[in-house]
Chains A and B, each alone.
Chain A
Amino acid sequence: MLERIHSPADLRGLTSGDLQVVADDVRRRLIDVCSRTGGHIGAGLGVVELTVALHAIFETPHDQLVWDVGHQGYPHKVLTGRNQQMETIRQEGGLSGFLKRTESEYDAFGAGHAATSISAALGIAAARDLLGEAFKVVAVIGDGSLTSGLAYEALNNAGHSDRDIVVILNDNEMSIAPNVGAMSKYLNQVQRNPIYNRVRARIGELVEINRSLETLVRKWEESVKSFLTPGVLFEELGLRYFGPIDGHDMKALVETLSAVRPMTGPRLVHVVTRKGHGFPAGEHGEKWHALPPGHDPATGRQRTASSANPAYTAVFGRGLVDLMTERTDVVAITAAMPSGTGTGLVASAHPSRFFDVGIAEGHAVTFAAGLATRGLRPVVAIYSTFLQRAYDSIIHDVALQHLPVTFAMDRAGVVGEDGETHMGLYDIPYMLAVPNMVLAAPKDGTEMLALLRTAVSHDGPFAFRYPRDAAPDLVGPISEIPPVPVGTWEVLRQGREIAILAVGTMVRQAQQAAESLAIEGLDVTVVNCRFLKPYDEVTLHALCAHHRVLLTVEEGR
């Protein structure tokens, strides 16, 4: 059936039964192609039916479909003329693993970072109204992304606006890890608890706790209201609520979307899906979030496992766990990425000192600042690219108050297949500009742990960056790794005329370069500039006395 679908127009007019056949084909295709290419398969598998139904009911690309994050866009790509190119996904010159306006007219808005879809869709709707155009605008957002403040800023704006906009809440109870927070709990309740039981339980609870009749009546009214509209929270925000509907039931999707499309005003459709739905190795939301190239769909395992050293992330996670055993004042914070940052290890080893705050990088940093005011030593582990979200919190809440917060910036530098939305190329300039900030970059895993140890004893903000890569060394326990004096460099090779001042990952490359240059008779100095700020003035002065040229090398700009 899929071979007959050249564009979403071919879906229109098909029966729900036929659309389900298409969906089954899309799912098979994704499982097959991703087994070779790898990539974010879990989220896509969860929205196969939803994607088919959206394109069948909405007149894309005239109607504007805005996805969030974009990692769930694989079925969308398959249906919008890119099926043949799926083999190239996440590769050089191939399809992006996320969404890109330059890639297709069906990609109404680029995506990569979470929680942008409602804001972008509202902007598109406002432009439509201003320019007197006529089309529908749909924003898809995951429940995980509803932990981000940006989504609420957009909902707050949209609910008040009266604009014709449809928000699809794709609720699979998962972020990358199981979703966290009060909103997640609320959605869970809407989804799970048979409402009748909930109301009954509420009464029992009330009779026990609230003796006053007045409160009892008020609470009762609230319960009845939520009985009538399960998504009362969204209704109160000004969005008409529809759902929850089963996101794997094509008929329900088609009926609901067909009814919702012609309406006007802000509305929200709550769709319940299962991440990784239909994956041969069994459904598992977290395990199949992303898979390596060349995996076996029957097991989810890579056919030829790599033999590299442990990644920096893993070294960091283990080091942090041990450091937190030693130092009970250290606490760890992640913004929805316990496995991605290695902090998940802390969750099991020191659960009370571990905080997953959701996809809320700004909040994570200001929350850390609050912890620091009471004498704790927070370590905030966030990818360089996502920490961009927290810039004002870094300056306003941490640096200006000179609070001792440690920023562990993973995925700094070029990040490979995720492409431009995830590049960690901006943290050097953005951190250098922050007053009071110490900025460091280790040359290997051992030095990273030395910097971690240094950071939690430093009386002020401290950031260090490390790449998405295997550590070049085998790293011992942090208990045996001493701190490094802040602001010191390390001269690794003494040469003449030209000195290479290398930062972080570039130190090894510079050493190798120096070796091959030496063979050619060019004798260069190599310095490990592990502190970018404050820099080592004494060493710099000495270098200037003996060299005519200093070549700085950094994996950033």
Chain B
Amino acid sequence: MTNGFGAMLSAAVARHEPGVRVIAHGVPDRIVHAASRARQLAACGLDAEGIAARVRSVHGSEAMAR
């Protein structure tokens, strides 16, 4: 992730709500080659499964931090 929506919100929230973490999930900063759209989305973690997995890992690390 470079400069998308997540980056923008992250900066805004850090300014106003320092207690809240923003985690940006999107297309990684590398070239996405030809494949079906579904495969490309899955490879980027941008399908329901990928999003759920990201939530689980975020939740896990949050629980540890508590």
Contact = CB atoms under 8 A, between A and B. Distances in A.
A550 B3 contact: no
A522 B46 contact: no
B35 interface: yes
A551 B1 CA distance: 13
Contacts of A432: 3-5, 8
A500 B55 CA distance: 8
A167 B16 CA distance: 58
Contact of B6 (A497, A541, A554): A554
A425 B20 contact: no
Given A94-B34, A540-B13, A557 B27 contact: yes
Contacts of B19: 544, 548
Contacts of B12: 535, 540
Contact of A556 (B4, B13, B22, B55): B4
A506 interface: yes
Given A432-B3, A513-B48, A524-B55, A415 B13 contact: no
Contact of A416 (B20, B28, B34, B49): B34
Contacts of A415: 37
Nearest to A415: B37
Chain B interface bracket (under 10, 10 to 19, 20 to 34, 35 or more): 35 or more
Interface in B1-50: 1-10, 12-13, 16-17, 19-29, 31-37, 39-41, 44, 46-49
Nearest to B36: A416
A517 B37 contact: no
Contacts of B23: 549-552
Contacts of A501: 5, 9
A513 B49 contact: yes
A219 to B, nearest CB: 53
Contacts of A541: 16-17
Given A94-B34, A550-B21, A544 B27 contact: no
A555 interface: yes
B34 A498 contact: no
Interface string A428-442: 110011000000000
A553 B25 contact: yes
Contact of A428 (B5, B49, B52): B5
B3 to A, nearest CB: 4
Interface in A515-533: 516-517, 520, 522, 524, 529, 532-533
Given A414-B32, A509-B47, A522-B55, A557 B37 contact: no
A117 B47 CA distance: 37
A512 interface: yes
Nearest to A556: B4
Contacts of B28: 557
Contacts of A512: 48
Contact of A548 (B16, B21, B35): B21
Max chain A C-beta neighbours (<10 A), residue from B31, B33, B49: B33
Given A416-B35, A557-B28, A509 B4 contact: no
29 contacts: A94-B34, A414-B32, A416-B34, A416-B40, A419-B34, A428-B5, A498-B62, A506-B46, A509-B47, A513-B48, A513-B51, A513-B52, A529-B5, A533-B8, A535-B8, A540-B12, A544-B19, A547-B20, A550-B13, A550-B20, A551-B51, A552-B23, A553-B26, A553-B51, A554-B5, A555-B46, A556-B26, A557-B1, A557-B26
Given A529-B5, A540-B9, 20 more contacts: A91-B35, A92-B35, A96-B34, A429-B2, A498-B59, A501-B5, A503-B5, A512-B48, A516-B52, A532-B8, A535-B12, A544-B20, A548-B20, A549-B22, A551-B22, A551-B55, A553-B46, A554-B5, A557-B4, A557-B28
Q: Which 6 A-B residue pairings sit nearest by Cβ, starting from the closest?
A: A419-B34, A512-B48, A92-B35, A552-B6, A513-B52, A414-B40
